[in-house]
Structure 1
Amino acid sequence: MKFNKLIIALAVSTGVLVSCNDGKKNEEEIRLEEQEMQTAEADKAAKEAEEAEMKAQQMKEEARANSIASKAMAAEELDTLVLALKAAGLSEMLMAEGEYTVFAPTDYAFSQLKKGTLEDLTKAENKEQLVSVLQYHVIPGIMRSEDLGKAIDAGNGKAKIQTVKGEELTIMRDGDQIVIRDGKGKKAQIVLGNIEASNGVVHEVNKVLMSK
């Protein structure tokens, strides 16, 4: 009888020991599984962040490639403007994010300036004046041809718009054409409008605009 009791006691002890070991094993397995899950989640989050950063960079590069400055560089009639923008240090501004409307003087427009004017403006000592002249052609916000037309109609035939420098231009119609009058009373005609860019719109004009 004592022998049987001893066997039973040993069996119970062994069962308890095995059960404890199994419990410890299960806890360790759970801990490892949780650790693996956390590592996998961290790796996934890092990968998603990297992909998001790459996508953002790609979008930024695409935006720059389609910016106002890039559109001007690609245009056949805006070579002089591009050189002037570079001399003024404004190329980066027109590549950056934002919303602008640019009245872009064509090569012909620059050729109509008084002899020596462009050469003087592009000299290093006259950079501030060149910046002022070019910024007089830039309007904050996007105004396509139809928006300019609506503003003219709302103003009973003409409307005033402000440049990024806070100076005024007057827009009006000449027949079926939209013209821009500068501070000196000179009128420029839009010869090619609605050139879409990632940061605005460009209208090519046949005169260089000058403030008062």
Structure 2
Amino acid sequence: MTKRLFTAIGATLALASCTSPAARIATVAPPPAVAAPVAPAAPISANSGLAAAAATATNPFVGGTAMLGTRTIADNFASAPNLRMLTHAVDVGGVRDTLAGSGPITVFAPTDQAFGRLADGAVGQLMEPANRAALVKVISYHVVPGAITLYDLRARIDAGRGTARLTTIAGGSLAATKEGEAVALTDANGNKAYVQTPDVQQVNGVIHVVNGVLVPQLG
């Protein structure tokens, strides 16, 4: 893909309409400590404690559907009726393995309504085969290494004196801030998305559903 094409797509996606904070956001207590397994008979993965905690977590519903803590992030995306566009983008971009891997990762998942706020034609343009590299970069911009709960995110914001910088697997960063009880994420173009449904615990990380699409620098 040429730099010119990346720039054109970036300009279109950056025209996302303004989003507003969720009317209410859950206040999440610090996650409970996970007891270490006793004398395992075989080697365990680095995320076994995370998986054990997720399996017993009381997850919020997403789009009216239960999010099972025994599933991967990719599997739960596919079952949520309000994350259809994100699921489609993941499939088209060929990045399902990233979201189904061992992790841990944190995904800020835009709803279908969030995709609908982009400029007319932006989603269709991004899904074209010729623009796959840009699509992968946009999806990856919503993924951060490590399992970061809402409690952790607020703590990082406080430690950063009002702003936490999150480095995404796309290479760019997101700025996390607090606006009252709401937590906002600001992308490289100045667009904001707000955490709408936090702390969906998975075997390989955490999902936070957000109400806007975050766009990296594509030029």
| Length-normalised TM-score, structure 2 | 0.67
Counterpart amino acid of residue 183 in structure 2: I
Matching of residue 143 in structure 1 with residue 148 in structure 2? yes
Q: How many correspondences in the alignment?
A: 158
Larger Rg: 1
Q: Distance in 2 between matches of 1:165 and 1:84?
A: 15
| Secondary structure in 1 matching 2:194 | strand
Q: Which residue of 2 aligns with 1:188?
A: 193
1:107-146 to 2 correspondences below 5 Å: 107-146=112-151
Match of 1:83 in 2: 88
User: How large is the RMSD of aligned CA atoms in angstroms?
Assistant: 2.6
C-alpha displacement of 1:70: 0.6
Deviation at 1:76, TM superposition (A): 2.4
Task: Give, as a single letter, the amino acid of the residue that structure 1 aligns with 2:73.
Answer: I
Q: Tell me the alpha carbon deviations over residues 135-166 of structure 1, each in whole angstroms, 9 at most, x when there is no partner.
A: 00000111110000000000111111100122
**Is the contact between residue 69 and residue 202 of structure 2 (CA under 8 Å) also seen in structure 1?**
no
Q: Which amino acid aligns with 2:86?
A: L
Q: SS at 1:166's partner residue?
A: coil
Displaced runs of 4+ in structure 1, greater than 6 A? 62-65
Q: Which residue of 2 aligns with 1:95?
A: 100
Give the distance between the partners of 1:122 and 1:157, measured in 2 at CA.
36
AA at the equivalent of 1:78: L
Structure 2 residue ranges without an equivalent (≥5): 1-41, 49-54, 56-67
Aligned partners of 1:64 and 1:70 also within 8 Å: no
Q: Which amino acid aligns with 2:128?
A: K
Task: Give me the TM-score of the superposition, normalised by structure 1.
Answer: 0.69
Query: How far has the Cα of 1:64 moved from its partner?
Result: 11
Give structure 1 stretches of 5+ with no counterpart.
1-51
- Kindly indicate whether residue 219 of structure 2 is the aligned counterpart of residue 199 of structure 1: no
Identity in percent: 36
Amino acid at match of 1:66: R
Change (3 A) 1:65 1:154: closer
Q: Which has the higher contact order (CA 8 A, sep 6+)?
A: 2
